[in-house]
Structure 1
């Protein structure tokens, strides 16, 4: 098949898919360089790095990993196999090259791969209340398998572990809210209308009622207050290690999980406040058998929600 990088339309389709990935506060902290129409480099965008909440660049690389998975998937449905070279970061500097992807000849994509690709366009982060309907065991098993296919794990929590985690989230939220620099950084991405990035009011959802709530408050002082589900379904995405390579892997696993969830009508949002606080305190996660937590995910069945704004392809793509 024709190399998709050989044409502007083919390259644009790849970057459009990659740029639709989820990212921390919808910062979309990535940029792409097409090299001689042979391969695409994925770079972090240092201007979109949350230096207060994410001093290690962990969330930045997870975000970029999600974009990398979408890029891989777009190459597969074009009839190619993505050959990936991952760059090793220089220290903790997230502005370095993260990966390069070269298309190689391959068999046509499977029906399952086409289904995942189609889910890219309809996946949303859902901050609305979910129903109390349980997630079927078969669906939970598929989500766990999706994480394992990318070298990660997905741990579903039950009471009392779920309640304990919500308490930890609430405590971390209170601490973070008291940090002026953190509030200012968050406000940059959540205040006012935006046409291409951030979280404008229409994607923030209502303000929760209660103490142990399964969504970020995001300082929505004027937003409607509603009650969320009493027993949220929580899962923790883990990796074997806790370094830049594993963070990029976590992002790819996260996106595969989210796309599989989308195919089953399962919505998702995130409760990463304890992980943000850990990073801000420059604490590293001790090695333990359960893996290193990288994302805290709330899963369930929610209403349809609008998509967050996206940066245009010309802003993301550079040719060299």
Structure 2
């Protein structure tokens, strides 16, 4: 999963603009879609499209042309990415003083790419926590650089756990030998993927320097871990020259679980992940994500119960790292049907 772009400031919930339905004006549509499009996504593919139905209703679609056929053939990563965008869209609606009523997968048989319908209904003004999370949208980053050795305070991690729980997911800190085993598993999966020509070709597509609106630019790769103990995904495809650096000796790793493992669960995981990441950002906590072992999960394991907490949907590393620049974003008019912009 990758980086963020900017989102415009929300209207004052007491103002006339805030009392308007969120999709009633070009500015309202632009604000909400920009916020949604600032979500993290696998390889910064930004695999979403938006369709304005009316002044109160927006539809979120999966852009299946951006599915990673090698590493994400079932669309799990795409679903999580779109779930993160959905959470941002919900927050943007809340900033107008409306509630966001979400219908997930409203017509899976006829329109499997229609992931959610979001309808604005009368609501209370946003609370302080909602405002803070919304304000964090343009500041959240995927940070692949070394973190220092400071530990997250217990109360901060508890807030991250509560953030995941609020979206129907479970976040668990992985410690000690278990953490080392998880990191070794990630490293083994990364090596397996990197050995496949089809994976290298897919990764090259999304790291091509000519990409200006999406993909992972070189400045976001991060350095190679000098001792190789922290298995950061190598976007430079092993052979390319790249600086190395010392990473933290004891990474703080957490796993995000959902009870099930299907399209609804992936959307839920994405919303939970984004709530966790925005909460972390508000505390000055950086994060990077690992999905390599999940990329290799065989299709025949889909839907099986993985354990008492359900299914792992994402592995995350938290800590305190240097500031990192944003990565590119597609504009509103590239992700929204232009004929649906009111007044356009």
TM-score normalised over the length of structure 2: 0.89
Question: Post-superposition shift, 1:316?
Answer: 0.8
Match of 2:127 in 1: 110
Question: Is 2:88 the counterpart of 1:99?
Answer: no
> Could you say if the C-alpha distance between residues 95 and 189 of structure 1 is closer, same or farther in structure 2, counting changes exceeding 3 Å?
farther
Equivalent-residue separation in structure 1 for 2:54 and 2:122 (angstroms): 18
* SS of structure 1 residue aligned to 2:297: helix
Contact 1:89 1:244 in 2 (8 A): no
Residue 73 of structure 1 is matched in structure 2 by 91
Residue of structure 2 equivalent to 1:312: 331
CA contact (8 A) 2:253 2:315 kept: yes
In the alignment, which of 234, 243, 251 is matched to residue 224 of structure 1?
243
Q: Say whether residues 1:215 and 2:249 are aligned partners.
A: no
What is the CA distance between 1:89 and its match in structure 2?
A: 6.9
Residue 95 of structure 1 and its aligned partner are, at CA, apart by 5.7
What is the number of equivalent residue pairs in this alignment? 318
Find the counterpart in structure 1 of residue 180 from structure 2.
Answer: 163
After superposition, the C-alpha distances for 1:173-199 in whole angstroms (9 at most, x for unaligned) are 111111111111111112324321000
Deviates further, 198-207 or 244-253:
198-207
Matched, 1:195 2:208: no
Residue in 2 aligned with 1:293? 312
- Name which of 24, 34, 37 aligns with 1:19: 37
Q: Does 1:152 align with 2:169?
A: yes
Separation in structure 1 between the aligned mates of residue 300 and residue 180 of structure 2, nearest angstrom = 26
Query: What is the alpha-carbon distance in structure 1 between the residues aligned to residue 319 and residue 185 of structure 2?
Result: 20
Once the 2 structures are TM-superposed, how far is the Cα of residue 282 of structure 1 from its aligned partner? 4.7
Distance in 2 (CA, whole Å) between partners of 1:89 and 1:105 is 25
Question: Is residue 159 of structure 2 the alignment partner of residue 142 of structure 1?
Answer: yes
Which residue of structure 1 lines up, in the alignment, with residue 201 of structure 2? Answer: 184
Are 2:322 and 1:303 equivalent residues in the alignment?
yes
1:83 aligns with 2:83: no
**2:65 corresponds to which residue?**
47
In structure 2, the residue corresponding to 1:140 is in which secondary structure? helix
Aligned mates of 2:336, 2:155 — CA distance in 1: 39
Gaps of 5+ in 2: 1-18
Measured in 2, the distance between the counterparts of 1:173 and 1:48 equals 21
Q: Which shifted more, 246-255 or 187-196?
A: 187-196
Secondary structure of the 2:278 match is helix
Name structure 1 gaps, 5 residues minimum. none
Asked if the contact 1:88–1:245 (Cα under 8 Å) also holds between the matched residues in 2, the reply is no
Equivalent residues in 2 for 1:259-270, closer than 5 Å: 259-270=278-289
Which of 73, 77, 80 lines up with 1:62 in the alignment? Answer: 80
Cα 1:193–1:174, aligned 2, differ >3 Å: closer, same or farther? same
Could you say what secondary structure the match of 1:260 adopts?
helix
Runs of 4+ in 1 over 2 A off after TM superposition: 88-91, 281-286
Aligned residue number for residue 276 of structure 1: 295
RMSD over equivalenced CA pairs, Å:
1.6
CA distance in 2, matches of 1:189, 1:290: 33
Q: Distance in 1 between matches of 2:111 and 2:222?
A: 31
Shift of 1:215: 1.5
